[in-house]
C-alpha cells in the first residue's frame, strides 16, 4: 500500500476514534449533570412543599381563635388601659357616661364648600334661597319651606365661611340624604316672588 495513503487512513481512523470517544465522554458528562440538576430540583420542591405545609398549619392554628374571643380580648385591653388612666381623670364620671353612651354625629350640621362640592355618596345637592327681609326659606322651585328646623337644623342664617362668602351657607342633612347650598338675598319673598307691594304686605 502506498505509504501516503496508509498515513492518511491512519490519521482519519484516529480522528474517528477520538470523535467517538469524545461523544461518549460528553454524553456521560451531560447525563451526570442532568442527574445532579434533577436531584437539586427535587430537593428544592420538597423543601418548598414542606414550607407551605408548615405555613398552612400556622394559619389554621391562628384562625382557630374565634372572632368573639378576639373582640373580648380587645375589650379587656381597652378596659385595662382606661382603668389605668382613670385615676388621674378629673372628669371621670363624664367620660364614663360618654363611653357607655357615645354621642352620635349630628344628623343635621353645617359643612364647608369643600364638603359640599365633593361627591358624597347618594346625597342630593339642592340650592335654597334665604330672603333676608322676611326670613323666608324657598326651595329651587321658589316654594316656601315650612319645616325649616327639620331641614336645616336652625331658623337663622349663619354663613359657613363669612370671610370668603358671607351670603352662602352649606348644610348636610343625613335624615334626608341632602346637601343644601343656602344663598342669602337681601330682598323680600313677598315682593320679589309673589309680587306684592309694601302696602299689600302691611
* 38-60 pLDDT tens trace: 677 777 767 777 777 777 776 65
Strand partners, 28: none
In the predicted model, residues of the chain with pLDDT beneath 70 are 1-27, 34, 37-38, 45, 58-105, 199-202
Q: What is the pLDDT of residue 145?
A: 94
Q: What is the pLDDT of residue 54?
A: 78
Q: What is the pLDDT of residue 147?
A: 93
Q: What is the pLDDT of residue 12?
A: 54
Q: How many CB atoms lie within 10 A of CB 189?
A: 21
Distance between CA 147 and CA 151 in Å, rounded?
6
Q: What is the pLDDT of residue 186?
A: 95
Q: How many CB atoms lie within 10 A of CB 62?
A: 8
Q: What is the pLDDT of residue 79?
A: 59
Q: What is the pLDDT of residue 80?
A: 52
Distance between CA 200 and CA 17 in Å, rounded?
129
Task: Name the pairing type of β-strands 108-111 and 178-185.
Answer: unpaired
Residue 127: all three cell numbers together = 340650592
Q: In what order do the strands lie in the sheet with 136-138?
A: 108-111, 168-173, 178-185, 124-131, 136-138
**H-only helix segments in 87-179:** 92-100, 113-117, 148-152
| Residues 193 and 138: beta-carbon distance below 8 Å | yes
Amino acid at each position: 500500500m502506498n505509504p501516503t495513503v496508509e498515513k492518511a487512513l491512519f490519521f482519519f481512523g484516529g480522528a474517528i476514534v477520538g470523535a467517538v470517544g469524545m461523544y461518549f465522554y460528553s454524553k456521560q458528562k451531560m447525563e451526570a449533570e442532568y442527574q445532579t440538576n434533577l436531584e437539586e430540583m427535587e430537593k428544592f420542591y420538597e423543601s418548598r412543599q414542606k414550607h407551605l405545609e408548615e405555613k398552612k398549619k400556622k394559619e389554621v392554628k391562628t384562625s382557630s381563635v374565634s372572632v368573639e374571643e378576639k373582640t373580648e380580648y380587645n375589650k379587656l385591653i381597652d378596659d385595662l388601659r382606661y382603668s389605668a388612666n382613670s385615676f388621674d381623670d378629673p372628669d371621670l364620671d363624664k367620660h364614663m357616661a360618654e363611653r357607655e353612651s357615645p354621642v352620635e354625629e349630628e344628623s343635621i350640621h353645617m359643612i364647608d364648600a369643600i364638603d359640599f362640592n365633593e361627591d358624597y355618596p347618594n346625597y342630593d345637592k339642592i340650592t335654597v334661597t334665604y330672603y333676608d327681609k322676611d326670613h323666608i326659606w324657598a326651595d329651587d322651585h321658589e316654594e316656601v319651606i315650612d319645616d325649616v328646623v327639620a331641614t336645616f337644623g336652625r331658623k337663622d342664617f349663619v354663613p359657613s365661611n363669612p370671610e370668603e362668602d358671607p351670603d352662602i351657607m352649606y348644610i348636610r342633612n343625613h335624615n334626608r340624604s341632602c346637601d343644601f347650598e343656602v344663598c342669602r338675598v337681601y330682598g323680600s319673598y313677598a315682593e320679589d316672588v309673589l309680587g306684592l307691594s309694601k302696602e299689600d304686605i302691611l
